[in-house]
Structure 1
Amino acid sequence: MTRTTPPRPLELTAVFPELATMSRNVTRLHPRSGSPTVDDSSVGGPLLWPQDEPWPTCTRSHEVYEVVELEALRAAHHVMVARWARSEDEPITPEEEAIHDRSRPKKIASPYTDPVPLLPVAQLYARDVPGLPVPDGADLLQILWCPFIDHEGDIPAIHMRWRCADEVTARLSPSPEPTVIELDDYWPAPCVLHPEQVTEYPAPDQLPDAVAARVHAWQEETGHHYTHFAVAPGWKIGGWGAVPSDAPDQADPPRCECGTVTEPLFTVGLSEWNGDNEGGWRPVEDADADDRRSYPPAGDPTQIELGDEQLQIYHCPESHEHPPVIVRVYQTL
């Protein structure tokens, strides 16, 4: 099923004509709860991985003393999906309650020192995702992360892999996975994608000073929030970057270790539309979705929770072999 962002309730270029030259295409991924396979673009789904290629791991010692068992978390997720498929008046069974109990955090006696297989976060086929900047000879992007937060800046260790899907003849199955993770918020619930390309504009701190001043005056006068109309929410590819949470005065894109200014590649977003805000980003197909009566909620299907922040991955336009730059960014909606 497709997802369609409604016509904008306010055309920003009519208010600020300068924005016409600052627009960028961004692909909203629109993840929705599902059962993706290795042949699908997905969030939290299985990856198309060669049988003879080592699975990436995080080898640092993680200073954590409480963990969640991944298999128990997955079982609890399936219970909740089944529970919400039944009548809302039907109570949870004792068996389902026991499964939930097993998914609660458990204390461990010492830091977790074993190598940790990384968790799949996203798999994106170029055929499905308009605007995906694939290098020559590749048609597939795979993103994994460490399920423990204890890294510099509380940013998970990210691993990116570009590949040509046709070259994977012998597939790894099942793929390695960690026995435990630090937080259930770091396990993406399996989702299929419904990519849609839309237009977005810079955040206020990224605008030229004169335009930013007019935006601030307009907000004071009208009570509108410019960002609600300018920046697409949720999981997305491309578009504009955002201001790093740990460097609010640094509105310019981060630089690669080679010195090149990087470009926004992938955003781990928050809510798909953050309620019924004035930005009008709720797809028309989800107009009747009631997040209070569904699991996972249509507006928050991945169940990823990074506080009030998003996570953005930037890539170097000079070489796809250069490591990605990861930043935490302010919530836009």
Structure 2
Amino acid sequence: MTSITDRFCPKCGRPSESDGLCNSCRVAETPWAVCDARMISTHCPGCGATKQVNTWTDTNLEKEELAPDLARKAVHFHDDVKKRAIGVEIRDISPNRSRARLTITGTLYGQAVEKTCLVDLVWHKEQCDRCNRITGSYYEGIVQVRAEERTLSPFEMQTAAAIATQIEDSLQAGGERLSFISDMTENKDGLDITLGSQHIGIMIVQGITAQLGGRYTTHPKLVGEKNGRQLFRITYLVRLPKYRRHDVVKVRRGYVEVEQVDQRNVRVFDLSEGRSRAIKEEEIQKKIGNARDAETALVAYISGGMMGILDPLTGETKECQNKAWQGISAGENVRVLRDGDALVVVR
């Protein structure tokens, strides 16, 4: 039984919970979900990056993986819709177009709602900012890796290249898409690395000198002006030390192995005394080799303070001083470098 205070829907006459329309009529009057007719995805044919507004983002997703999310972005819900869900079915129409059938469900004012809509997905190709710079031979700097009074060793060449690649990967993963290496060339002078940004340049030279020693200098060159700002290209010149790690050199008191070089001193391991110490570069008389290139030789005998080593090339026995710190016994193999006819035992 109704009373005079009961509220009725002015449209259908059924009881209403408010002074206005009942929930069923409110749902019928409300555009609770609206779909865009077309969605455009812009991607780079060179690297696969996708563009949103004016920003490019690297992605490893294929078109089939991108399509469902792109289609769902076409749906715009009324704020009052709860328990939202969107089912997606994709059908390719052409290489550059797909069609999505969306089944949209939810609840509105306590009523279950459902509708379907069709959305065209357009796959647009555009060269991204990074690929555009690379193909246009754009660069902001060059790292030149050289060595003081010598050529780079294969180890130094490979290490410098690996450091540069690792830094590029790290910056790219962090979102710095324009911090790229566009070219890396080995030549008779050393290694040249062409770069897309000045930031990656400074990080590479710092990484190389931290691991291989040496120092670097920067040489900017004005190349133009854009929007009132001067544009520079920078050459980063890395000079690796004259002596590199594990070089075995002769000094007045014997032989030492280089451990580290800075601008003032050379840190070495004394092969006679079995300890590390610092020397001046002027104390070095000559280099006899690098411990990485040492040969393996057999210790034939130990006698007092001397040991006999079989020369791996001639088979002759050559005597060397037996240093107490080495702890060598007859029958063991040792690593040796040559200084003329003499053999020098290294670590």
TM range (shorter): under 0.3
* TM-score when normalising by structure 2: 0.17
* TM-score when normalising by structure 1: 0.18
* Pair member with larger Rg: 2
Whichever structure has more strand as a proportion of its residues is 2
